[in-house]
Amino acid sequence: MTFAKGQSVAAKVDYNNQACWVIAKVLDYNKQNKTYLIEDLIPEDKAKQWTVSRYQLVQFPQNLKKIQKGQRLLALWYEEEINHWTTIFYPCQAIEVYQENKHGKLSQNTVLKVKFDGDPKYTFVNSQWTICPEQQQE
């Protein structure tokens, strides 16, 4: 899969000395090195940039075709203290899947009930705000 300049992606990067997945925008592609220059889509203060291979990127939204109960995912986290969504994806497990279409496929309105690792409560997120890097589509 190739990614176009300006395209939104989820990227596995070193963020504050920890490997994590973030929402980013493709700035450029280096044909010689076969790497992408990306930037944090919504930076906290100063925009962060990384150079990554295509194997560290997935399309965002990923438009997963199916999510199963119990499936491991990465999802955006809603930060109640600042009243908005983070741009970092956190590990979670799908507990329930709501509003699939009549063919059993996910729609843009599909809502997931998830349990984030280390959080005792359940959270509801739109399926468009989740990724499963193992399901990278070519």
pLDDT digits (tens, 9 = 90+) for 57-113: 999 998 887 888 999 999 999 888 888 888 899 999 999 988 656 666 666 778 999
* CA dihedral sign of residues 3, 63, 60, 130: negative
d(CA 21, CA 13): 6
Domain 72-135 has CATH 2.40.380: no
Query: Which two tokens mark 16?
Result: 């504050």
CATH class of 8-59: mainly beta
Q: What is the dihedral of CA 14, 114, 104, 134, to 10 degrees?
A: 20
CATH 2.30.30 region(s) of the chain? Answer: 8-59, 72-135
pTM: 0.85
